[in-house]
Amino acid sequence: MRLLALLLLIASTSLFAQPSQIFRESFGFGPNHERPKGGKGRMEPSSGGFSGYWAEDPSDKNTTWMTPDRKGSSGWRWASSTPNPYEAPSPLDTPGENGLAWCSCDPASESALLAPMTSPRTKFVVSGDLLPNPTMGHYTAMGVTGSNLLQGNFESGAAVWVRVKMDIAGDSSFGLAELRTRGVDGPSVAVRVPLDYNGFNHVEIVVDPVALRATATVAGVVVGTLPIPAGTTRYVGFEGTGGADNLVIRLAQ
């Protein structure tokens, strides 16, 4: 029965994939609140930490989520929220419930949630929806990186990433959005944008691996365009604290 459930899940996620889509994760809990996990794809309760769970699409043992899960090290965990207005229907979503990834870690840990990705050779778009932590000193980030380091990954050398954070204490309507390259050592640009600290904020990064540049948009505001380093990105995901949902990689039209 579990093998049949796994095969049906893989088939259903493939049917929902768009032609240009090369990666998707809705963080839906799956049928009976179970998702495949581990090398054999055993159906396990979608609760606790994300380490070892298969991504939604592609759904296989080679595309599994990674986050700190050692004793005394907190990482990203399954959580639920009200429906996400930016998210397309997914066979893994249960009626009236929206799954997402959540991290209430110590901000100093800079915990990451990463999955392997196929790095396109043409222009592609990484998009996701962030729920930033409304606390000074915290940030929520999305990006692509060549490293599988699970703490301090983006700051130490991610190829291109975007982070959002509260920059003025008590300002619950705006925040700072930063587009960064090569960790914190490369070119960067930052603008203040309207942020919903109680809801989802749509983020897009358009990556051109031929022209070696990336453009980011946060909550409908263009943050900027920057040069990016040459090389293959191997992982996609999130870092920091707060919530994340609806991660998609697609070829640019």
Structure confidence at residue 13 as a pLDDT band (50, 70, 90): low
Separation CA 133–CA 106 (nearest Å): 12
- pLDDT at residue 154, rounded to an integer: 97
pLDDT in tens, 69-115: 765 557 999 999 999 999 999 999 988 889 999 999 888 889 999 99
Residues 168, 172, 177, CA angle at the centre, nearest 5°?
Answer: 60
Is the pLDDT assigned to residue 12 strictly greater than 60?
no
Q: May I ask the CATH architecture of the domain 2-251?
A: Sandwich (2.60)
- pLDDT at residue 220, rounded to an integer: 96
Separation CA 234–CA 244 (nearest Å): 20
Separation CA 205–CA 213 (nearest Å): 10
> Residue 117: CB partners within 8 Å, gap ≥ 6?
22, 23, 63, 144, 233, 234, 235, 236, 249
Separation CA 187–CA 167 (nearest Å): 20
